[in-house]
Chain A
Amino acid sequence: MARPLLESGHRVVVMPMAVARWGEIRRQTADPGLLLTFLGTAAALGLFVLYPAFRVLVYPSLRDYLAIPESLRWIQAARNSLMMMVLSTISATVVGLVFAFATTRPDLPGRRMFRGLAMLPLFAPPFMVAFAYILMFGRQGLITRSLLGLQANIFGWHGLWLVQTIAFFPLAMLIIAGVLDAVNPSLEHAARNLGADEWTVLRSISLALARPGIAGAMLVVAISVLADFGNAVIIAGGFPLLATEAWFRMEGMGDLKGAALVVAMLLIPTVALFFLERYWVSRRVYTVVTGRGSRIERPSTPPVLKWGAVAICSLVSLLVLLVYFGVIAGAFTAVWGRDWSLTLEHWRLAADRIASLWSSVKIGALAGVITGTVSVVVAFLTSRHLPFRGVLDFLAVLPGALPGVFVGVGYVLAFNATPIGGTVWVLAAALAFWHLPMGYQAASARLKQIERSIEEAAVNLGATGLQVLRDVYLPLLVRALVEAFAVSFIRAVTNVSIVIFLIAPGQVVATFVILNMIQNNIWGAGAALTTMLLLLTFASIGVTWIAVGRTVRSPGMG
């Protein structure tokens, strides 16, 4: 009955890796649906991510590239962009660090409020800080002129510096707070126990451990500053910057080649910073975070530190509130700077352009659907043991390294001459794929929490790759899908950097209208339309929140 015992196998012939790999491919092709999805997705990413970028880079000739150093204006713009990057990155990171520190201290008065207020700039359209500060601190500024009687000029690099600090410190705060939150308080207690005073603990433990977080925050802020178009175009005035220069080239002079050159110049630092962040800093942050945070309360903060932080946070929070206050007040004020009486006149004017808001919603919804779907599908595919999945992953995160103006110029070059050129589809696709990294990374993270065996159970019962996607992953990823849709939608309806390049005649969107109004000093209507955009944003957040709460019916999932 029993087979011989100790039946060990034949010795193995070493199989070359390539053969093993082909075997894997052959087995995967046994599931044609999955393979087709993979190929289709790869093709879509190639067409909508890689191809436009490629078009930008090859559009100017080598001679054009070599001539860059001879153009004084471009060198000037590059130098200015780098200068703003350094200034704004440092100031935004310092403010972000103070906020992160303050909001992770349990004994700091108003810490929740500070964190909440600091999030506000993240929801504002990307030109709103600049717009509000012109209203507050400009020549007709409520504070500078009406209250203080100053003759201030906010246009130029110093105005931009203030604006970018306020616009981007929330990013730094979120990243650094994430790291500080993860520092186990027991480490601090241990240091104290060994005789360190509060200052030493702060310096040698908390800040030391947060260092990779600070580095990561600086890189992310630096990319945002370099790519910042919305604020710069409004407030930089005659101060040339790479991001705005691309637009002036194209709009003012129809110089597509010049625009391509400028955005290509902009790409070098952003890509470098991006990969530094992704493949170096974020990994180091991760190793710090691994310690399990036990719930020991942090001890009380030294008073000097505490009240210093409260003072800074209060001042900055006030500046944040002014962003919202300025725009909303502007929408109801008869003539800003001269006649402070209340009026609804601007809303009538804004209502005339309400069609542009509907276009925004339509394009935003389109972009949201594309981002959501592609995010989930790519996250699913990169979780498979498919060959070349690393390529897919790379293409899905790459747009995070591309400045909006680069994407804008890229889509012009790639699609204007095609049948879909000039349609809303091009704009929607550009916005959708630009926002892909956020949706993709969220979906990927969610996917990783789902135990692999859940999928195997489905396969074991007979499900093909696509049936697994449909029956297991889609339902479990609904939340990620909705969130990806919402983020993409909100960012699409408030976008300016891509929109200005791809706006189609007859499909004018709200941000484009607002930008024109601001530049033509039609502040009241611009403010009214911006307020509508804000309402739309917060309404979408609310709806998403409710929708996500409803769809997640299984708290049992990890």
Chain B
Amino acid sequence: MNRAHVSVQGITKRFGPTVAVDGVSLDVEEGSFTTLLGPSGCGKTTLLRMVAGFHHPDQGDIFLRGIRVTDIPAHRRNTAMVFQEYALFPHMTVGENVGYGLRLRRVSADEATRRVGQVMELVGLAGQQRKFPHHLSGGQQQRVALARALVVEPEVLLLDEPLSNLDAKLRIRVRSEIRQLQQQLGKTTLYVTHDQEEALAISDRIAVMNRGRILQLGTPLQIYHHPVNRFVADFVGLANFLEGEVSAPGQVRMEGVSLTVPDGALPGRRVTVVLRPEAIRLHARPPEGVANVLRGYVTAASFLGTLARYWVDAAGRHWIVDVPSPGEALMTGEVFLEIPRDRIHLLTET
């Protein structure tokens, strides 16, 4: 048996004809922050809810510290969850909400008050116990939900798209707060989101899901720079895709161009070249002494503050190129694309 804190082994869950989760296995290490990332409907919530015990898998097993919990009902698993819509009890004060789990565990009133106070301080809501949830802002309600989950000292913390009801600015602030708190407490965390940027920003590891399966598991850097297939590359960040054939070691030929690429793929293989927009350099004049230069024309440009995004036609294709810290003016007309060899990622399956 492995030493993972949470281990999901080969689980499948069907709802009628829909296969929501399709034979997924996943190990979450103690103290790690693991994110389930994927498009809406891919089965993230279902997987998370099976860990919490709200759904029973049709197949496969779930282990907590190596102990099989598949048949243990939800109320006897110590897997506290933060719900997307917070699910605060509307008839209880904030303090009663946070203390509810302690009440069920028959913690004495004094002790409970103390622990509730502590955790409220931790989430930055000290002294707000007597208010009702509807007196609080969305961000504050979110923190109450987090406090309510943390106060029972759960084995694992489960969060299902906890930030989706917050506005963009707040989302970024709260996500870093969640991450800091998680690291401070060393709490094993399973986090669900469909927002790739959010996943990249806060995770130790990301499991990219699609159609009920995990396609890739890895650190944010691995996922971003070395996606295992086109879906992952496309879902996480933007990418230019070019299909071609390996003509010689380190060479990929495609319609109209030939690119020098990292070694690896055998000659004759069909490959997909994955190029992140910011990996391409854009020059007004042809750069000297470098490989992989293409001549093109800017068809559209968009100023995004920290970067400028260009749509360029070159070698009979459309390219997306991001140029960081654009100056006072955007480029127009003829440009030259430089594609650094070491920034190219190859997919051998198409």
Q: What is A's interface to B at a CB cutoff of 8 Å?
A: 2-3, 5-10, 12, 15, 20, 23, 27, 30-31, 451, 453-454, 456-464, 467, 471-472, 475-476, 553-557
B24 within 8 Å of A by Cβ?
yes
Chain A residues within an 8 Å CB radius of B213:
6, 8
Q: Which residues of A contact B10 (CB under 8 A)?
A: 9-10
B30 to chain A, nearest CB (A): 14
A471 to B92, CA, bound (A): 10
Q: Which of B3-54 contact A (CB under 8 A)?
A: 10-12, 14, 22-27, 52, 54
Which chain B residues numbered 56 to 89 have a C-beta less than 8 Å away from chain A?
56, 58-60, 71, 73-76, 79-81, 83-85, 87-89
Whether A9 contacts B24 in the complex (CB less than 8 A), given A460-B74, A463-B104, comes out as: yes
Pairwise interchain contact A454-B89, C-beta atoms closer than 8 A: yes
Docked-complex contact B215 and A471, CB < 8 angstroms: no
Find A453's partner among B26, B73, B83, B134 (CB 8 Å cutoff). Answer: B83
**Across-interface contacts of B85 in A (CB, < 8 A):** 451, 453
B-side interface size class: 35 or more
Let me know if B214 is at the binding interface, CB within 8 A: yes
Give the residue of B54, B56, B75 whose beta carbon is less than 8 angstroms from that of A464.
B75
| CA A464 to CA B73, docked complex, whole Å | 9
Number of inter-chain CB pairs below 8 Å: 123
B100 near A31 (CB under 8 angstroms)? no
New A-B contacts (10) at CB < 8 Å, excluding given A9-B11, A27-B71: A6-B216, A7-B23, A9-B25, A9-B59, A27-B56, A453-B83, A454-B88, A461-B100, A462-B104, A476-B90
A3→B23 contact, CB < 8 A:
no
Contact B12 A472 (CB under 8 A): no
B297 contacts A by Cβ under 8 Å: no
A459 to B89, CA, bound (A): 12
Q: Which residues of A contact B169 (CB under 8 A)?
A: none
Question: A459-B75, A460-B74 in contact; A12/B89 too (CB < 8 A)?
Answer: no
B309 within 8 A of A: no
Residues of B within 8 A of A20 (CB): 58
Q: Assess A461 versus B12: contact at CB under 8 Å? Given A30-B73, A472-B89, A476-B90.
A: no
Max chain B CB contacts within 10 Å: which of A30, A31, A475, A556?
A556
Chain B contacts for A457, CB-based, 8 A: 81, 83, 87-89, 145, 148
Q: Which B residues lie at the A interface, using CB under 8 A? A: 10-12, 14, 22-27, 52, 54, 56, 58-60, 71, 73-76, 79-81, 83-85, 87-91, 100-101, 104-105, 132-134, 145, 148-149, 152, 205, 213-218, 222, 228
Return the contact of B134 from the options A10, A460, A462, A555 (Cβ within 8 A): A555
Which residues from chain A contact B23 at a C-beta distance below 8 Å? 7-10
30 A-B pairs with CB atoms under 8 Å apart are A2-B217, A2-B222, A3-B26, A6-B213, A6-B214, A7-B23, A7-B24, A9-B22, A9-B24, A9-B60, A12-B58, A453-B84, A454-B88, A454-B90, A456-B87, A457-B83, A457-B89, A457-B148, A458-B100, A459-B54, A459-B75, A460-B54, A460-B80, A461-B75, A461-B101, A462-B101, A553-B91, A554-B91, A556-B134, A557-B91
**Residues in A neighbouring B59, C-beta threshold 8 A:** 9-10, 12
- Nearest CB of chain A from residue B244's CB, rounded to whole Å: 23
A6 touching B228, Cβ below 8 Å: yes
Are A5 and B216 in contact, CB atoms less than 8 angstroms apart? Answer: yes
Q: Which 9 A-B pairs have the closest CB atoms?
A: A9-B23, A556-B134, A461-B101, A453-B87, A457-B87, A554-B90, A462-B104, A557-B90, A475-B91
